[in-house]
Structure 1
Amino acid sequence: MNQLTFNELQSYLTLKYKEGVTSSALFMKLVEEIGEVAEVLNQIEGRKENLGDNSLEKELVDVIHYAMAIASINHIDLTKAIIKKDKQAAVKYNQSPDLEEFLVENKEH
């Protein structure tokens, strides 16, 4: 299977949603998908009857899809944003390595 980067997925989603969709419409889909993740987790953990028609993998992919679509149509580079946000959190919570350091270390190995 091919590797996929955030940038590639965001470029695809920008193309896919280039016309006629709003951030709020995508957000409503995102909320719906988060609810479906909750349903699957409830089934997995025995709080609800397992109907067997949903999978956690599928629902998590849907959540990522809609979250990234919102970022894409709003011209947010999630790769840069995630690294920046993680660096801020690493400083705030005194954590090491931060994501950027981790990526550099992994490329060296």
Structure 2
Amino acid sequence: MKQLTFLELQNYLALKYNEGRTSTALFMKLVEEIGEVAEVLNKLEGRKKNTGNTSLESELVDVIHYAVAIAGINNIDLTRAIINKDKEAAIKYNQSPNLEEFIAKQNKKD
């Protein structure tokens, strides 16, 4: 299976939601999906009765879908933003390697 990039997903979702959906509407769906992740986790971890309809994978995909859609319709380059945010966190928390360095090392192995 082909690897999916953030850019490809963002472009697809921006096309899909470009007309008729606002960032606020997508955010409300994101919050709803986060609640569904919480519900699944509560069931999986025994805090709520498990009725069998627990698909953490599906709910996490929905969360990612709406978060990336919001970025897409707002022209945010998530790849760049994630790498930059990770660099800041690596400096703040004195962590090594940062994501960019990790990717570079992985690419050398390939």
Short-chain TM bin: over 0.9
Partner secondary structure for residue 66 of structure 1: helix
Partner secondary structure for residue 85 of structure 1: helix
- Alpha-carbon deviation of 1:3? 1.2
1:49 paired with 2:76, answer: no
Partner secondary structure for residue 97 of structure 1: coil
Provide TM-score, normalisation by structure 1: 0.98
1:67-86 matched pairs, under 5 angstroms: 67-86=67-86
Provide TM-score, normalisation by structure 2: 0.97
What runs of 5+ residues in structure 2 fail to find an aligned partner? none
Question: How far apart, CA to CA, are the structure 1 residues paired with 2:4 and 2:10?
Answer: 10
Residue number in structure 1 paired with 2:19: 19
* Contact persistence 2:17–2:73 (CA under 8 A): yes
Deviations 1:23-64 (A, max 9, x none): 000000000000000000000001111111230000000000
Question: How far apart, CA to CA, are the structure 1 residues paired with 2:15 and 2:54?
Answer: 28
Q: Runs in 1 of length 4+ with deviation above 3 angstroms?
A: none
Identity of aligned residues (%): 73
Question: How far apart, CA to CA, are the structure 2 residues paired with 1:2 and 1:101?
Answer: 24
* Contact persistence 2:43–2:49 (CA under 8 A): yes
What runs of 5+ residues in structure 1 fail to find an aligned partner? none
- Alpha-carbon deviation of 1:86? 0.2
* Contact persistence 2:44–2:54 (CA under 8 A): no
- Give the number of aligned pairs: 109
1:101 paired with 2:101, answer: yes
